[in-house]
């Protein structure tokens, strides 16, 4: 759900802040949605701290989820001290059992809120100054092996699903273009150029930043095959230009894509439900680019749409397990040709 769906349940200053971040600073909607949930947790804590501290001492997680933040005012926010925010971080650790990564994300969200309130003179001082992030153990990104990647594509195109061509195209693009989930869902037909002179796709990443990616033979074929069976829509449909559509002729949702990929990955991963998420395909694609094709890390940063090189550098620490020929040998036509050959005993 969008942060806009919770406006009636939120104080005015929070609504104004989130709209500023989304529509003035042009942050991605998913980023602002996550910030809303982070800040709702903070405001629930503040409400208990100021008006019912006994509920913090006898913490009930089910009750905490029901706390309304509508009544929180700027006057309440002016009462928040640096020590209160330290206590909030401790509360995230001790009571909500948040991981260091989750605590750091919520800390970043509250810092930006208090910076906004202070800069606009809604509060006299910024109480979040001096708060430090928790240390997070660096973990190498998980990715599919060569055989798992090939099987993923093969299973999808050979499945009984009425949407197998669409689902294959989605998976193929993930494995080739290193996209985020939001970027794939947001692709429009007008973003794609596939002709004799150019084979590219334009995607919109975080902060509404656009980048152009080049497509290989497998992706071009997958998109063209899908366009042949894509539901026909009229120009009066607001999602007329969306590349991937649901059965209701609406732009496919993030949740739907997550379900598609999860169902596909369950069939190829030995650990079944563990780590069957979309981002593994982004890691798989990036690993291929760096390890197999020796892509310069600065170019890789641009392909991934990272703001800083630090986010990209993790791929330089991956073990040298090269994923060879994932896509060249996994076009729709090659998969079906091998299947026919096996049936004929070839």
Q: Which residues contact 67 (CB under 8 A, 6 or more apart)?
A: 44, 47, 48
97, exposed or middle or buried, with CB in 10 Å at 0-12, 13-18, 19+?
Answer: exposed
Given the residues 180, 230, 251, 283, select the one marked as catalytic.
180
Check the CA dihedral 200-201-205-209 and report its sign: positive
To the query of whether residue 315 is one of the catalytic residues in this protein, the response is: yes
Cβ-contact 254, 182 below 8 angstroms: yes
Distance CA 149, CA 206 (A): 27
DSSP secondary structure letter of residue 202:
E
| DSSP conformation letters of 280-342 | HHHHHHHHIIIIIT---HHHHHHHHT-SSHHHHHGGGGS------STTTT-SHHHHHHHHHHH
Pick the closest to residue 15 from 4, 1, 25 (CA basis). 4
Determine which one of 22, 40, 230, 282 is catalytic.
282
Q: Alpha-carbon distance 328 to 217, whole Å?
A: 8
**Residue 282 is a catalytic residue:** yes
Examine the residue annotation and report whether 255 is marked as an active-site residue of this protein.
no
Residue of 105, 206, 211, 338 with catalytic role: 206
Q: Which residues are registered as beta bridge partners of 192? A: 201
| CA–CA gap between residue 153 and residue 297 (Å, rounded) | 27
The three-state (H, E, C) secondary structure of 102-117, written as one string: HHHHHHHHHHHHHHHH
Is 279 marked active-site? yes
- b/e for 177-191, b at 16 or more Cβ within 10 A? bbbbbbbbbbbbeeb
Q: Which one is catalytic: 105, 151, 249, 306?
A: 306
306 is catalytic: yes
For tokens 């998109």, the residue is 223
70 is catalytic: no
- Active-site amino acid positions: 180, 206, 279, 282, 306, 315
């Amino acid at each position: 759900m969008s942060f806009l769906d919770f406006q009636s349940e939120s104080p005015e200053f929070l609504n104004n802040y989130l709209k500023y971040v989304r529509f003035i600073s042009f942050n991605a909607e998913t980023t602002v949605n996550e910030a809303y949930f982070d800040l709702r947790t903070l405001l629930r804590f503040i409400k208990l701290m100021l008006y019912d501290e006994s509920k913090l001492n006898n913490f009930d997680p089910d009750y905490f989820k029901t706390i309304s933040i509508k009544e929180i005012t700027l006057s309440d926010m002016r009462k928040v001290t640096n020590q209160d925010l330290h206590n909030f971080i401790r509360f995230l650790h001790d009571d909500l059992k948040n991981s260091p990564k989750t605590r750091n994300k919520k800390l970043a969200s509250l810092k930006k809120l208090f910076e906004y309130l202070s800069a606009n003179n809604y509060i006299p001082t910024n109480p979040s100054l001096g708060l430090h992030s928790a240390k997070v153990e660096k973990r190498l990104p998980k990715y599919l092996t060569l055989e798992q990647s090939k099987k993923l594509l093969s299973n999808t195109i050979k499945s009984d699903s009425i949407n197998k061509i669409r689902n294959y195209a989605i998976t193929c693009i993930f494995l080739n273009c290193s996209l985020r989930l939001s970027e794939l869902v947001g692709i429009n037909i007008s973003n794609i150029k596939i002709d004799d002179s150019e084979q590219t796709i334009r995607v919109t990443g975080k902060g509404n930043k656009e980048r152009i990616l080049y497509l290989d033979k497998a992706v071009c074929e997958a998109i063209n095959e899908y366009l042949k069976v894509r539901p026909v829509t009229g120009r009066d449909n607001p999602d007329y230009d969306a590349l991937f559509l649901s059965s209701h002729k609406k732009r496919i949702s993030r949740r739907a894509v997550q379900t598609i990929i999860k169902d596909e990955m369950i069939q190829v991963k030995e650990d079944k439900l563990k780590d069957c998420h979309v981002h593994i395909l982004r890691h798989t694609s990036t690993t291929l680019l760096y390890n197999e094709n020796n892509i310069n890390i600065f170019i890789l940063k641009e392909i991934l749409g990272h703001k800083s090189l630090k986010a990209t550098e993790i791929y330089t620490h991956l073990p040298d397990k090269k994923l060879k020929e994932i896509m060249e040998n996994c076009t729709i036509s090659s998969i079906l040709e091998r299947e026919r050959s096996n049936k004929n005993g070839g």
